[in-house]
Amino acid sequence: MRILVTGKNGQLGRSIYKIVNTDTKIDNNQSSNEFIFVGREELDLSSESSISHYFDSNDGFDVIINCAAYTQVDKAEQEVELASQINHLAVKQLASIASKQQARLIHISTDYVFDGESDKPYTETDETNPINVYGKTKLAGEKTLQEIMPTNAMIIRTSWVYSEYGNNFVKTMLRLGRERDELNVVSDQIGSPTYATDLAGVILEIIKNKEFREEEQATQIYHYSNKGEISWCDFAKEIFTISKIDCKVNPITTQQYLTPAKRPKNVLMEKYKISNIFGINTEDYRKALKNCLKLN
């Protein structure tokens, strides 16, 4: 299969690249696949003409994995049009192109499509109600994708993604924890962290799965994160404990740490569906964190 991966410089894109190119343990049977990784230099999702141009000159893809997104949650409150173009309109265009090329489309979405007010984990069919611009644009992307591709696409909602790459909570905590004696971290937002390498492995696993290759599969939404639930504050403590960083973590409330974009309070996602259909094992978040910090 010819597999196009967008967002090659992002956390997920780089994690997929690393597995495909180096990790022979996870990467069994991927060698029969040809992966093409593109960044915004080749395929700029903020430009309709760039997208058309790229696919006019490059076609014959069997699978498109869309890892690219406008992910700056706070900045999105100001850059509404740009966030909407990348997270919604570009997805619409990608879906039309995938449909025309008869390619399968794997699109990544977010727990931020929910408002975080539920007291139990969200299932894939639970009502969405994003409370910030980023979440709204990602939800619009999901909806347009489902409309244009009622079959042959897949949306994977994930949460709290971190990795060795780019900017993320784990890397920020490691840096600040080494610089300071104490830190204030929000303790009333609960979620499940996701090590990008684990999500990348899941996507590659799905591509190998017969279910995925079957003709005319109805487009589905799946939830995936690591197993377990934690607050940002306790996650920071875990990072410091595992890394043996001596930094005190003080719990604070969301009200004490106001950000331009509102954050959902309690977004836990049920992951039974992806586990049942694709036989995916969700790794415990502590184990995943140790793997990322290379302390397993």
Ligand X SMILES: NC(=O)c1ccc[n+]([C@@H]2O[C@H](COP(=O)([O-])OP(=O)(O)OC[C@H]3O[C@@H](n4cnc5c(N)ncnc54)[C@H](OP(=O)(O)O)[C@@H]3O)[C@@H](O)[C@H]2O)c1
- Vertex 138 angle, CA 44 and 46, to 5°: 15
45 binds ligand X, rule: CB under 6 A: yes
285 noted as active-site residue: no
Is the separation of the CB atoms in 160 and 192 below 8 Å?
yes
158 binds ligand X, rule: CB under 6 A: yes
Residue whose token pair is 């996870």:
26
Question: Distance (Å, rounded) from C-alpha 14 to C-alpha 163?
Answer: 9
110 binds ligand X, rule: CB under 6 A: yes
7 binds ligand X, rule: CB under 6 A: yes
264 binds ligand X, rule: CB under 6 A: no
161 binds ligand X, rule: CB under 6 A: yes
Near ligand X in 163-182, by CB under 6 A: 166
185 binds ligand X, rule: CB under 6 A: no
Nearest distance from residue 63's CB to ligand X, in Å? 16
Of the candidate residues 4, 11, 262, 292, the single one contacting ligand X (CB under 6 A): 11
Q: 107 — phi, psi (to 5°)?
A: -120, 140
Residues 6+ apart with CB under 8 A from 44: 50, 51
Which stretch, 5-13, 226-234, 260-268, 279-287, contacts ligand X (CB under 6 A)? Answer: 5-13
Quote the distance between the C-alpha of residue 291 and its chain's center.
18
Q: Which is nearer to ligand X, 23 or 48 (CB)?
A: 48
Q: Please pick, among 17, 70, 122, 134, the residue that the annotation labels catalytic.
A: 134
Binding-residue pattern over the window 60 to 99 for ligand X, x denoting contact by CB under 6 A: -------xxxxx--------------x-------------
Check residue 228 and give left, alpha or beta (phi > 0: left; psi -120 to 50: alpha). Answer: left
DSSP state for residue 227 in the 8-state scheme: B
Which stretch, 8-16, 124-132, 144-152, 181-189, contacts ligand X (CB under 6 A)? Answer: 8-16
Residues 6+ apart with CB under 8 A from 21: none
Residues with catalytic roles:
134
